[in-house]
Structure 1
């Protein structure tokens, strides 16, 4: 895990900008325990902190250039070699070859030009803002928020996050802070700031490959990706649930002949635990089960960081790179094509973005509650309009494929934003094979009817990794079912513990009262909601979740 922060002013940094630099140093001093490199040029201050999860700090300084990156571009197995390559050949063609999850900063001391770039999916983005003629940037959203600069509420961005769980366009909670979009490079110079889309996702929809060839090529691309991530590791850490994504990761690792430490976070007597245990036994993988009360309360990344980072696990010394974990994130959307109900698919086939936007909002229950939010109808209309605009950005490709790209470049773009923002808390990073354009292009090459609801995913597993289907798994409702017998409670039928306990409701209420975001809330109505819910008279989880997301950042 790593992060970088910088401030650039083409005409030269001043005392006004020193305030920002000193504020960053003060904030960073509270948490920093990694390797840090910093440079202070006339026009640029750049600090790069790396917990060396992938290996040595990826930082380069020559007579003419300064460059650093977070994540791994996966041009090769060695990310420091990748950094050298990208610094020497900083072109759209070379950036397009990168299939990993990464973000890079590069400064040319001779021309006084700053370059920033994120991966094709924007899973490792950077955030930026302007202050006193300077351009400020960081891979950590919360760092910019905590600089103490004036910030005003971005109503559109906040409501996108509150209802969808992610932002559209470059939106964030604040008008002054922007999030770079996927597959984008930015250049800052004396001429100003320009942004260029270097990666063309739409072009990947033009391929119509033979089905058998596609399955074979996907196997090759996944294996190549995993091989680069592994590098010289002989013992790795991964999570293993009862689903297919982590199972496929385990199969890929087994074929690489590495030792595996697998962790499972499940509730007692559930099918998720039964399926994970059955698969681990069939593949002779030692599985460590950590019992939890609510699998939805925290992300796997959160749980992994909390459980593993203290170094007390007996396998911790055995893992070659103990701060690096394998993750099946991205598999369900990327290969399984979830969030694509029959209603959404039928709407997409009409080729009418407005119709599709309505179906998507209904599927996600993404509605702004009128009883507690001022001007909810107006903001709901704006939310729909932004989704329609996002869908239209994909041009003339069929709407059913545009919708799949919409999910990748919005939902998945922000999917790991919170774990990556907690870089200082967990100091871990992740190998993410499913977030590779070389993997996802194979889904785009097939008709949407063939890939929805795990159809393509299952065909691929039967073709390339049949051992993944030899023991029972947890299937998504309405998707290709698992017909093998299994025991325990279906995870989709588990009644969650009370999501918002009185203490949490009180915390949300008091936090709202001191937040500038309260201007959007009907405080009298929300007070009643909070009181009734905390008293157990009526459940208002949906409304409380909206307010919680509004206050997330």
Structure 2
């Protein structure tokens, strides 16, 4: 697990402010163990910082006379289709050499989730790169005289030497989708690299280029046309290869196991690979997720299954990492001498990448007809996405809605796929999935946990993208694919939690189990939600500079009255203003476009 950050001066004759270097040093990690574990490189043009807790067990840096390079994650680089992946340091050396020489051959071969930097000391030129899916982020704050960059947005947020300006476009998209679209962030002039992108900075020199585009895949001898009926087996072999090259020589691993299909596929593949798998589930007893995960563990033959009490380590933690960290530190697990005891295998990426959730026939047909306005409308309606602007004043509320519509329309239209049926799928791949692990990467310094996510294997995704979309909709192809797993594992012989509007599970199920997507919630949950919304509203109103400029004060008071009386639940009204306030409170201004 690597975190890196740095600053590069863009103009000649300028020195890096000492205060800026000190702020980067103090913010790169919040964990006390890292205070003396920060590597640095600097010259008169650049300062680079890196810390690594060693979750992957391999160095994340490379030095030679003319190059300094850092990497976060594992690029999974092979010297041949069937070869074992190269060690991380050797892979980084090859990536760095490609970057400084202007080549892209090695970059296109990497299958993993990573980001990296390479600094050419001779030319004083910096290169920053993301993986083909852009899952491992780099944030770049572009200032007139320098750029500041990091693998976590919180590091840039901690910089006080320069003022930040909120970008209402990015914030509106976060309020609606949970993430900003394209290369935006919540702040003006702070960007994220696109999937498969390189940013290069020299003295008075800047270049952006995409070494990989999912809407324009290169010709490849690796991916040959095959009959449709053979595609499930082909994708199964690629997935098993993705598992194998990530395992290397590990004999004991930890993995999440939910009641759905994604983590079940990962655990089954690990079991089929002859690995000792420790599995954990942290859902609520009495739920489908909990019961089906237990049934799956028993059916697949997993010897170690634990139920964890969900305990987040930091705010917004969706994985309950306080409990996960305790589980990974248990004597039962550590006594098996795992090679990577801080790594958990996860099914993230499977439902979108292979299951094609969030899509339906109407969305795809509209995209095929190049009616992108209808495709967007169908997409938003089908997924019930949107955000209430009721508590904003009329002017700002109207701006918020316009920005959301403008952002998604522009992003959809920027995807120039030869197969228009894939356009909205690629939108999800390049936005939803690229931002999916935001909280995980933001807080790795505190959680000390790394994930292994084979569904994000770029060869696996590439094979999917090269085929027509229709068979993949509604999990139809997914279920055919699971039939390729060894029969003795019985992957489809115990029930699973199916997505709404997707192919249902027809196996007998115990009565009375709660369903993850059931919108019915208890009166106690509604009461708690109202209380939380009321507290948020109080904070917003008490911030007079914020409330007078952006909120409808009358509606805010009515909203608070409704929450106190408990007659109706309109707690969602406060979501968008709270998101805006979160970033407003960390910035100096808001730029209204």
**TM-score bucket (shorter structure):** over 0.9
TM, length-normalised to structure 1: 0.93
Match of 1:325 among 332, 344, 353: 344
Aligned to 2:514: 489
Aligned to 1:3: 3
The separation in 1 between residues aligned to 2:142 and 2:13, in whole angstroms, is 13
User: Is the 1:306–1:426 Cα contact (8 Å) retained in structure 2?
Assistant: no
Cα distance change of structure 1 residues 338 and 383 upon mapping to structure 2, 3 Å threshold: same
Distance 2:537 2:131 in 1: 35
CA contact (8 A) 2:253 2:275 kept: yes
Alignment of 1:54-203 (within 5 A): 54-75=56-77, 76=85, 78-90=87-99, 91-131=103-143, 133-148=145-160, 149-203=162-216
Deviation at residue 369 of structure 1 after TM alignment? 2.3
Report the alpha carbon displacement of residue 443 of structure 1 after superposing the two structures with TM.
Answer: 2.0
Structure 2 residue 480 is the aligned partner of structure 1 residue 459: yes
Structure 2: distance between partners of 1:102 and 1:535: 50
CA deviation vs aligned residue, 1:255-298 (integer Å, no higher than 9, x gap)? 2211111010111211211111111111221210124599xx96
Distance 2:332 2:246 in 1: 20
TM-aligned CA deviation for residue 57 of structure 1 = 3.0
| Residue aligning to 1:44 | 46
1:224 is the counterpart of 2:234: no
d(CA) in 1 for partners of 2:391 and 2:326?
40
Q: 1:69 to 1:218 in 2, by over 3 A?
A: same
**2:62, 2:68 within 8 Å by CA — same for their partners in 1?**
yes
Asked if the contact 1:153/1:516 (under 8 Å) is kept, the reply is no
- C-alpha separation between the residues in 1 aligned to 2:462 and 2:352? 13
Which residue of structure 2 aligns with residue 471 of structure 1?
A: 494
Q: Which whole-Å deviations, capped at 9, do the CAs of 1:512-546 have from their partners, x for residues lacking one? A: 75598654333442343244225523212322333
| Residues 1:312 and 1:508: Cα distance change in structure 2 (over 3 Å) | farther
**Residues 132 and 477 of structure 1: is their aligned pair in 2 closer, same or farther, counting only changes over 3 Å?**
closer
1:290: which partner in 2? 308
SS at 1:86's partner residue? Answer: helix
After superposition, residues 122-521 of structure 1 pair within 5 angstroms as: 122-131=134-143, 133-148=145-160, 149-204=162-217, 209-285=226-302, 286-292=304-310, 300-301=318-319, 303-309=320-326, 312-317=329-334, 318=336, 319-374=338-393, 375=395, 376-395=397-416, 397-466=418-487, 467-487=490-510, 488-493=513-518, 495-496=520-521, 497-498=525-526, 500=529, 502-503=531-532, 505-507=534-536, 509-510=538-539, 513-514=542-543, 519-521=549-551
Once residues 382 and 481 of structure 1 are traced to their aligned partners in structure 2, the CA distance between those partners, rounded to angstroms, is 36
Is the CA contact 2:165–2:187 (under 8 Å) kept in the aligned structure 1?
A: yes
Q: Pick closer, same or farther for the CA change 1:348–1:508 going to 2, 3 Å.
A: same
8 Å contact kept, 1:103–1:117: yes
The 10-residue stretch of structure 1 (372-381 or 75-84) with the greater mean CA deviation from structure 2: 372-381
Name the SS for the 2:352 alignment partner. helix
User: 1:92 & 1:523 partners in 2: Cα distance?
Assistant: 55
Q: What SS class does the counterpart of residue 434 from structure 1 fall into?
A: helix
| Unpaired runs of at least 5, structure 1 | none
Contact in 2 for aligned 1:125/1:180 (Cα 8 Å): yes
Q: Is the 8 A contact 1:13 1:44 kept in 2?
A: no
Size of the aligned set, in residue pairs, is 550
- The RMSD of aligned alpha carbons is 2.6
Residues 116/516 of structure 1: CA separation in 2 closer, same or farther (3 Å cut): farther
Does structure 1 retain, via aligned residues, the 8 Å contact 2:114–2:131?
yes
Partner SS state of residue 288, structure 1? strand
